[in-house]
């Protein structure tokens, strides 16, 4: 999950780029660098390790210039060294790259035969050398970039600067996100809008295959064939983590928009970017020898635990029992000695969950708690705490804490899977890569706000709403139904889609909207059949799916929200965000007290 920043304008570029790279640290990285144009020539500074190392380099050798590019690298080809750090380039061009160039070996051989000497182990250097090859033959930067892009295979987001062209950035996107930011007499490139906050709120997204020429006056977009195209400029929400509302109408709205940062920050704490492995704190018990896990929580945290159960059983092969904490404390179940007691709480003070913790400890369980407040009572009474980096959550209805909890549970699942031998090193790294892609994908969910508002207009007129899902999408449906109840006061219930025929189908008529969470994957066809049954009985279908599943639903559902397509493993994290957004939009239409719904408290510290 590399990060890209570019700036062209009238201010010193290096401080702007460095601060933006700080905002990209959540992605995970192992080296960083900046290149700028100084009196028409390219200069760069790079360092292995954290940005503090790059800061030290810059303190010793400051970097001037008003046009530049910066990068945080996650090593793929070549070790995480200063020499392999981006930007890469020649005296004519400097390039930063996210992704993998799949045909770099063939391109490299061609360039070596033409006399080019490579100095890094990376695939990314091939891009810079190929651009230089075309520049050396008299092509303009625009022509050289386009000629290079036509040869590249794989996934990439690119940003380039050119010697002698102090007012030009060129960017390109194919399979990896890139955005253009609009300032006052300055322009920006970034991996996503998070990279550019708070530099600008005016953002244009490159479509897949696009490339762009950026000058201080604006941006000129082209498609993969080189034809000029227009890309809409949008006003994005501010990203912030303070206690204030920061311009948002409600805390809930602000906290919804913090999902991408929260996911990234939480993952950063648990993942080593150098090895692409999950790294947990020292544990006072052996993950490999755990016979069973007992998961317990309340409210949204319980639904996070349900998703965790799907992961732990399917990925790690660990048997899991799960109970609502208020039931577990009185059910008095037999627990396997030496098992794992896994407790989840935002506040760490939830009374029922704390009581369940104490009961589990009395029955010989190892206690691991997933908490957002690491100085809480539950933290002090646990064997180990895995913290969520969600920051203050002021709205009573929990939002960003939920995806932070899922981020922790996903990492824990991977760690247990490796310990138990159900995951190979390669499989672990693949799952880690999927997780680290989530912050960018989560940021794209907000592009679907208009369709979600259209859904809200339907739901706001209803007295009852059914939510449906299968597999790990079922707890997502449960979370959606809970949020709707909490903030809009509309009655909503979630069911496993296959259970609809066993009773709930009798409720379906034209007055009961059916909200379905239906990502593509193994259970898509089965759930689609359930929705067709609902439609046949007059049900109004409102469906959250992904770009892969959307074409199958266009003629069936009244409204379809197509999210980015991600893996089955990470889909529940992404699907959670829009169901929470739907509840918020309905609450706005109903005129309720969004941040402080009636009868509810943020932390339930009584039974």
DSSP 250-269: SHHHHHHTTHHHHHHHHHHH
Q: Considering the entire predicted model, what is its pTM?
A: 0.68
Find, among 206, 219, 98, 205, the residue nearest to 167 by Cα. Answer: 219
Q: What homologous superfamily does CATH list for 447-594?
A: Glucose-6-phosphate isomerase like protein; domain 1 (3.40.50.10490)
On the question of pLDDT at 552 being above 50, the answer is yes
Q: How many CA atoms lie within 13 A of 246 on its CB side?
A: 17
Grouping H, G, I as helix, E, B as strand and the rest as coil, residue 406 is: helix
* Equal fold, 246-444 vs 447-594: yes
Top pLDDT among 100 and 584 is at: 584
Q: At 348, is the pLDDT very low, low, confident or very high (cuts 50, 70, 90)?
A: confident
**Would you report the helix, strand and coil content of the chain in percent, each value rounded to 5?**
40, 25, 35
Which architecture does CATH list for 246-444? 3-Layer(aba) Sandwich (3.40)
H/E segment holding residue 161: strand 154-162
Q: Considering 50, 245, 485, 602, which one is annotated as catalytic?
A: 602
DSSP state, 103?
T
Q: How far is Cα 88 from Cα 84, in angstroms, rounded to an integer?
A: 8
What pLDDT score was predicted for residue 274? 76
Write the CA distances from 544 to 65, 473, 572, 591, integer angstroms: 46, 10, 11, 24
* β-bridge mates for residue 513, sequence order: 540
Domain ranges in the chain are 3-235, 246-444, 447-594
Summary mean pLDDT of the chain: 90
The position carrying tokens 């150098």 is 274
β-strands 202-205, 233-235: how paired? Answer: antiparallel
Q: How far is Cα 130 from Cα 160, in angstroms, rounded to an integer?
A: 12
Residues found in the chain: 607
CATH number of 3-235: 3.60.20.10
> Helices marked H in 41-177 — which ranges?
51-60, 104-113, 124-136, 141-149
Q: How many CA atoms lie within 13 A of 552 on its CB side?
A: 18
What is the longest distance spanned by two Cα atoms in the chain? Answer: 79
Write the CA distances from 309 to 9, 312, 471, 475, 577, integer angstroms: 51, 5, 11, 10, 20
The tens digit of pLDDT for each residue in 379-396 reads 889 999 999 988 878 788
On the question of pLDDT at 197 being above 80, the answer is no
| Torsional class of 339: left (φ above 0), alpha (ψ -120 to 50), beta (otherwise) | beta
Select the highest-mean-pLDDT range: 311-320, 368-377, 387-396: 311-320
What pLDDT score was predicted for residue 191? 83
38-54 residues labelled b (16+ CB within 10 A) or e (exposed): beeebbbbbbbbebeeb
Lowest-confidence pick of 32-41, 73-82, 167-176: 73-82
The position carrying tokens 């016979």 is 291
Catalytic residue list contains 602? yes
Residues 6+ apart with CB under 8 A from 453: 585
Find, among 372, 444, 445, 359, the residue nearest to 405 by Cα. Answer: 372
DSSP state, 320?
E
Q: At 238, is the pLDDT very low, low, confident or very high (cuts 50, 70, 90)?
A: very low
Do 473 and 483 touch, CB atoms closer than 8 A? no
What pLDDT score was predicted for residue 26? 52
Task: Give the CA radius of gyration of the chain.
Answer: 25
Q: Considering 2, 254, 298, 483, which one is annotated as catalytic?
A: 2
Catalytic residue list contains 2? yes
């Amino acid at each position: 999950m590399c990060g890209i920043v570019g700036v062209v304008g009238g201010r010193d570029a290096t401080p702007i780029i460095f601060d933006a790279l700080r905002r990209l640290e959540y992605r995970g990285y192992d080296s960083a660098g900046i290149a700028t144009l100084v009196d028409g020539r390219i200069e760069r500074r790079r360092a292995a390790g954290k940005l503090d190392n790059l800061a030290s380099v810059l303190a010793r050798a400051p970097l001037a210039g008003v046009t530049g590019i910066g990068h945080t690298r996650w090593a793929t080809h070549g070790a995480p060294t200063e020499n392999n750090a981006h930007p890469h380039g020649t005296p004519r061009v400097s390039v930063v790259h996210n992704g993998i160039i799949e045909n770099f070996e063939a391109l490299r051989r061609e360039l070596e035969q033409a006399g080019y000497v490579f100095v890094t182990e990376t695939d990314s250097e091939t891009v810079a050398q190929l651009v230089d090859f075309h520049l050396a033959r008299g092509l303009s930067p625009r022509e050289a970039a386009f000629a290079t892009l036509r040869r590249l295979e794989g996934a990439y987001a690119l940003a380039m600067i050119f010697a002698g062209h102090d007012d030009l950035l060129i960017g390109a996107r194919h399979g990896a996100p890139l955005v253009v930011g609009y300032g006052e007499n300055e322009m920006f490139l970034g991996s996503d809008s998070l990279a550019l906050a708070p530099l600008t709120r005016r953002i244009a997204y490159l479509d897949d295959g696009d490339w762009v020429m950026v000058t201080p006056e604006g941006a000129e977009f082209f498609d993969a064939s080189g034809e000029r195209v227009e890309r809409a400029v949008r006003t994005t929400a501010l990203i912030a983590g303070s206690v204030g509302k920061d311009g948002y109408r409600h805390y809930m709205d602000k906290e919804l928009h913090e999902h991408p940062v929260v996911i990234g920050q939480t993952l950063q704490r648990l993942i080593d970017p150098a090895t692409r492995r999950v790294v947990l704190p020292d544990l006072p018990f052996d993950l490999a020898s755990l016979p069973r896990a007992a998961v317990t929580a309340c409210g949204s945290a319980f639904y996070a635990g349900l998703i965790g159960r799907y992961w732990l059983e399917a990925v790690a092969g660990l048997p899991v029992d799960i109970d609502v904490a208020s039931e577990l404390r009185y059910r008095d179940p037999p627990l396997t000695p030496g098992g794992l007691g896994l407790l989840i709480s935002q506040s760490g003070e939830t009374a029922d969950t704390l009581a369940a913790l104490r009961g589990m400890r009395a029955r010989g369980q190892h206690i691991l708690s997933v908490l957002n407040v690491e100085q809480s009572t539950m933290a002090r009474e646990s064997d180990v705490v895995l913290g969520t980096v969600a920051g203050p959550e002021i709205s009573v209805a929990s939002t960003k804490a939920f995806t932070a909890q899922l981020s922790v549970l996903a990492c824990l699942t991977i760690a247990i899977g490796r310990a138990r031998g159900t995951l190979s090193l390669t499989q672990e790294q693949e799952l880690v890569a999927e997780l680290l892609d989530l912050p960018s994908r989560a940021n794209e969910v907000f592009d679907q706000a208009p369709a979600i508002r259209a859904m809200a207009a339907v739901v706001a007129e209803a007295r009852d709403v059914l939510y449906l899902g299968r597999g790990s999408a079922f707890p997502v449906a449960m979370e959606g139904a809970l949020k709707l109840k909490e903030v809009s006061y509309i009655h909503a219930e979630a069911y496993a889609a296959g259970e609809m025929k066993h009773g709930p189908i009798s409720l379906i008529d034209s007055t009961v909207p059916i909200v379905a969470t239906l990502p593509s994957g193994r259970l898509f066809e089965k759930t689609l059949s359930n929705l067709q049954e609902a439609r046949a009985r007059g049900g109004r279908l409102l469906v959250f799916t992904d770009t892969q599943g959307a074409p199958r639903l266009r003629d069936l559902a009244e409204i379809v929200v197509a999210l980015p397509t991600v893996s089955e493993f990470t889909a529940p994290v992404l699907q959670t965000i829009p169901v929470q957004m739907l509840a918020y939009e309905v609450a706005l239409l109903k005129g309720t007290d969004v941040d402080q719904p009636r009868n509810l408290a943020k932390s339930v510290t009584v039974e």
